[in-house]
Chain A
């Protein structure tokens, strides 16, 4: 079955850029599934960041839209998150997930999560 694995720096400086990659294995990103990023600050709930289709079409959470870019590399079967101008409030575990249904769906498969701390 499909498995997801996040990777990237665990520490980012304030005002810097957070970059994470999600590698997809056990299946292709092509097809009708959308792929998302979700984050969870320490001890808090879940926040959807945005989603992408293999073609590159995206949808973002308006609360983060000005700072977020999600991109896809079909040749590597992976997709990426870029979050600019980070602050301490962006400290969280970042999950990538495959959606069920069509776009703007539920999250049927999750990666294990990548903890990211924003600190100098």
Chain B
């Protein structure tokens, strides 16, 4: 099973700043099959990125993903008030599908 470790646990930033979130895998993720999700309180997760760097339908271009092998990054440029939430990475390169523990992006 691939274990995903997200860091930092919490990121305190102001609107307009850039957020850089890390997701490290315990072994190489096949084909860079990494997805990123945003979850707000009381809501289901929302798909942001798949295939490490492809934005899902309707996702603003301030969200971008990168990485390969075991190290992946989600970058949010110019944070908007609605971006503050918890973010999860997920690998789908091998079974079982697994998620990271999440990074909370909070308003500073």
Q: Which residues of A contact B (CB under 8 A)?
A: 36, 45-48, 59, 61-63, 95, 100-101, 104-113
For chain B, which range describes its interface: under 10, 10 to 19, 20 to 34, or 35 or more residues? Answer: 20 to 34
Return A103 CB to nearest CB of chain B, in Å. 9
B95 within 8 A of A: yes
Contact among B37, B94, B96 for A107, CB-based, below 8 A = B37
Complex interface: stretch among B13-21, B41-49, B66-74, B75-83: B41-49
A59-B95, A106-B90, A110-B45 given; 10 more Cβ-contact pairs under 8 Å? A46-B45, A46-B88, A48-B97, A48-B98, A101-B50, A104-B97, A106-B35, A108-B47, A109-B47, A112-B43
Q: Are A48 and B96 in contact (CB under 8 A)?
A: yes
Q: Which residues of B contact A (CB under 8 A)?
A: 1, 33, 35, 37, 43-47, 50, 56, 88, 90, 92, 94-102
Contact A106 to B47, CB < 8 A, known contacts A46-B88, A101-B92: yes
Contact A106 to B96, CB < 8 A, known contacts A45-B101, A46-B45: no
Instruction: Select from chain B the residue with minimum beta-carbon distance to A107.
Output: B47
Return B81 CB to nearest CB of chain A, in Å. 23
